Amino acid sequence: MAYSGTTSVASQNDYMRIDGLSVGIEFSYQGGVIIRNTPHSHSVWRDYTSDYGVTNVGLGASF
């Protein structure tokens, strides 16, 4: 697990990442583009066992 920012996890540029053998999760608060200085959240999860066609070429996850 990686973390950067404030303890509230609700301020601009707060970031959290959780990495496991088969999954990755990221959460980030970023400043607004249309409404300036208005932080909003972004998140993504990845399944490393079938990510980006890994299973189609017969490779295992290398993370």
Work out the percent of the chain whose per-residue pLDDT is above 90: 29
Average pLDDT over residues 48-62: 62
Q: pTM (2 decimals)?
A: 0.65
Give Dmax over CA atoms of the chain in angstroms.
Answer: 45
Ordered by start, the domain boundaries in the chain are 2-50
Tens of pLDDT, residues 20-40:
888 999 999 887 777 777 778
Positive or negative CA dihedral for 9, 15, 16, 22?
Answer: positive
